Structure 1
């Protein structure tokens, strides 16, 4: 039963770690690889109007995360105006207000939108049914005939919308359509006809994204609902579907821009496209920190840098467990190689190895002298710590004097761990001889180098920092290895005479 519970815990750790990792990749689009690039659009909206000289209020629709795009950051520039972000009918709006404004006014709003193919459109409520549509004669007869003609050639809301829009194109435009277009604009007319036919639809506004374009205007689209689903239609061609480069700026059927206390208002758009690392793009997403989105990215940058190193320690621990339990390499101290590997990350590998050998070698010579003083353990270890500090200081000064600035990084070595390593090796020298010291010291250095190579791998650093669920998988692997009771690989040498016989 105990073995069953043990393997059940292992399975739960693996499943939970894998689920959290996959969820973070799918839901928040954290990339698997560190070098992945994403396209980000920087869009600026410039609002211009002529103020009357009194109070002014400007209300403008804002984009939200939607199919194909995820909103990252947004900024405004409006000197002298108060700014409030509002939530209305499922849409977002910005409202600028001031007590006094006169003459030409410019307000700026900029947003970063990340191209996100896996994003889906947000759930929006369909518009209310319109039962008060009234036409003047002879437009009522023309509207009824257009609706009847499209209705007979359709099967559902979407096909009816396609047929209706196609009847207003140049190729199929009939007399009734031409008559209606003389009195009404195309997009509001089509929405009105759809609503009269009990098809819920509304006019929305979108921005066609083209790199480097300036002074662009929004274009009108028709959003048609069929039960709880909706589709987008181009009122000019009748094509169904949302183009890849279309960003819906206003999607709930309201006015894009409303100005009180001014006239001649308009909004122009400029846009540029650029690529940036996917990891940084994801970090800047405006998403709430929920339990499933638990992330180191919510911490200040200084703490993030600290945790980026701390989260590598389980990788080093896994390397130590594999080498000691499976291979059978002896080390001086259980996890001393992991701390030395962390120092190698700060110093670089070659500088770290040379510094480690110098400090330990000189420390062993001085520790050998201290053994003749018959000091107590605490006093002896304290003296070794001071000796290690002195050795590191001397080496740092000498390297700086001769122009070897890389030698200054030796200060990153954990001094207490080095002192205990010297103490353990000195005792081992006295009890087992220099051969055992070389075996354990060499094993520690080899393990530290292998741990450094694993911990300093860019792919591993990216995975451990961005996917905390990996820590649960590492825990499961270490528990499994801790249950191993077979021969170490280095112990198999004992059976070599048997194979020779």
Structure 2
């Protein structure tokens, strides 16, 4: 027994020291911030170009962002295995070019950059080109002429003209001419806006960029409208009509022309994956000046593709939830319905928010238990019964999501983040426990599971915890060492001390 404790102590101590030592190295040597504190939001943007080959040579051109709006690029990486690659300077910015003589299978090319917004600048001056009237059919021209005349009567200048035009096209029931133009164009509504502005003689073009959302995958380019009002350029949201550059908009390409051109390929797609991280201002500057000293980061989470980084941002929080479960069960003595259920429910709470998640969970489990009690009268075998409960839970989630959508409750749509199998198995276990131990034991274990899940959620949602687990994943090795030490604890739990408090008074 003593030898076993000694072995566990040695292994746990080595793990704790290893995690702390590697963390200290990153803090002291690489200047990574131990606490979020004063920091910069550094965005890792991974661009994925996928396409299928056709006959002949393959040439791919991608316009690269120019750092507009106060954005500064820290580093860039290109993946071009088997392709000839170059970056050339053209009028309007840099262009990345991949080329290959022939290609036989679908291919994906990658471009990854890290950038942060040093200041909130407006977009720089842009040349005003001569406006060319669009080529229209006779009926389109007549409708556009009437629409332009109506908007001019109601506007005081190019800016209000464009704002009224956007509002007109975005209405649930637009006017007859606007509805006709929207129906005859096969392109987006922004193309209609640009053609109407061109017909009215107002210089305008689109501004393509990315809506910055942490952990977002398969993001595509969004578009803003930029018009010249006679004295300068103004930005408008082509959907809402709001003016100005949004804070969460990363400008990729400004002006006419495509952001991506693929020659010798078909079915091309341009997608983005995003991850946000907080780094100190000192670290951001040092990354620009001492990029070679950050070789250790090539073996960290930062070396993974951005999509996987976003996934690991949530996965790395699971050990923290597991630690909470260990403490609450071994040291405090709280009963839970299994070990994994509180962890996964806490992870779901991170997506749904606490109150909405609790409401969804209690609703699904309550209705599921009622349906499970009806299934018990059919005397089904265990496998069939659990499978039936899984299907019922999925149907309940679908119904709840549909009702929430109809009622406009967007937060409740996150019901899909709840682990279906865990919910189904929880309903099954609680039903069996009800039959064998009674309703009191169900309330004890179910309530304990929710209590532990809520505590795990509250700790996982702390910004410092998310920062430490993502930037210093080696601390999880130290956390594992602590869990090993707790696993050898055989003394009284806090709940038992309370339970036997009268015996202590007798002494």
1:373 is paired with a residue of what secondary structure? coil
Which aligned pairs between 1:28-39 and structure 2 lie closer than 5 A? 28-37=30-39
Q: CA deviation digits over 1:32-53, x for unaligned, max 9?
A: 122423699xxxxxxxxxxxxx
Q: Verify: 1:281 aligned to 2:294, yes or no.
A: no
Structure 1 distance, partners of 2:39, 2:416, is: 36
1:359 is paired with a residue of what secondary structure? helix
Q: Verify: 1:447 aligned to 2:449, yes or no.
A: no
1:484 is paired with a residue of what secondary structure? coil
Structure 1 distance, partners of 2:76, 2:450, is: 50
Aligned to 2:464: 459
2:311 to 291, 306, 321: 306
Shift of 1:401: 1.3
Larger Rg: 1
Structure 2 CA distance for partners of 1:283 and 1:315, relative to 1, 3 Å: farther
Aligned to 2:340: 335
Q: Verify: 1:26 aligned to 2:31, yes or no.
A: no
Aligned to 1:318: 323
2:500 is paired with a residue of what secondary structure? helix
2:18, 2:477 within 8 Å by CA — same for their partners in 1? yes
Structure 1 distance, partners of 2:310, 2:481, is: 26
Structure 2 distance, partners of 1:416, 1:481, is: 29
Structure 2 distance, partners of 1:431, 1:5, is: 40
Shift of 1:366: 0.2
1:14, 1:472 within 8 Å by CA — same for their partners in 2? yes
Structure 2 CA distance for partners of 1:282 and 1:384, relative to 1, 3 Å: farther
1:387 to 388, 392, 396: 392
Q: Verify: 1:401 aligned to 2:406, yes or no.
A: yes
Q: Verify: 1:493 aligned to 2:502, yes or no.
A: no
Aligned to 1:130: none
1:315, 1:451 within 8 Å by CA — same for their partners in 2? yes
Which aligned pairs between 1:98-109 and structure 2 lie closer than 5 A? none
Structure 2 distance, partners of 1:311, 1:419, is: 25
Shift of 1:14: 1.1
Which aligned pairs between 1:347-426 and structure 2 lie closer than 5 A? 347-426=352-431
TM-score, normalization by structure 2: 0.52
Residue-pair matches, total:
282
2:8, 2:485 within 8 Å by CA — same for their partners in 1? no
Shift of 1:290: 4.5
Structure 1 distance, partners of 2:421, 2:446, is: 17
Shift of 1:497: 2.2
Q: CA deviation digits over 1:138-193, x for unaligned, max 9?
A: xxxxxxxxxxxxxxxxxxxxxxxxxxxxxxxxxxxxxxxxxxxxxxxxxxxxxxxx
Structure 2 distance, partners of 1:493, 1:9, is: 33
Shift of 1:291: 5.5
Structure 2 CA distance for partners of 1:480 and 1:282, relative to 1, 3 Å: farther
Structure 2 CA distance for partners of 1:390 and 1:283, relative to 1, 3 Å: farther
TM-score, normalization by structure 1: 0.52
Structure 2 CA distance for partners of 1:468 and 1:450, relative to 1, 3 Å: same
Structure 1 distance, partners of 2:116, 2:455, is: 42
Structure 1 distance, partners of 2:443, 2:478, is: 34
Shift of 1:292: 7.3
Note the aligned Cα RMSD (angstroms). 3.2
1:316, 1:455 within 8 Å by CA — same for their partners in 2? yes
Structure 1 distance, partners of 2:76, 2:501, is: 70
1:470 to 465, 475, 489: 475
Structure 2 CA distance for partners of 1:458 and 1:39, relative to 1, 3 Å: closer
Aligned to 2:487: 482
Q: CA deviation digits over 1:460-479, x for unaligned, max 9?
A: 00000000210111100100
2:32, 2:280 within 8 Å by CA — same for their partners in 1? yes
Shift of 1:24: 1.1
Shift of 1:4: 2.5
Structure 2 distance, partners of 1:15, 1:366, is: 51
Shift of 1:114: 13
Q: Verify: 1:3 aligned to 2:5, yes or no.
A: yes
Shift of 1:354: 0.4
Structure 1 distance, partners of 2:369, 2:284, is: 50
Shift of 1:324: 0.1
Structure 2 distance, partners of 1:412, 1:13, is: 33
2:19, 2:476 within 8 Å by CA — same for their partners in 1? yes
1:346 to 342, 347, 351: 351
Aligned to 2:185: none
2:12, 2:481 within 8 Å by CA — same for their partners in 1? yes
Structure 2 CA distance for partners of 1:421 and 1:77, relative to 1, 3 Å: same
Structure 2 CA distance for partners of 1:438 and 1:283, relative to 1, 3 Å: farther
| Unmatched segments (≥5 aa) in structure 1 | 41-70, 84-111, 116-275
Structure 1 distance, partners of 2:311, 2:422, is: 20
1:21, 1:469 within 8 Å by CA — same for their partners in 2? yes
Shift of 1:8: 1.3
Shift of 1:395: 0.9
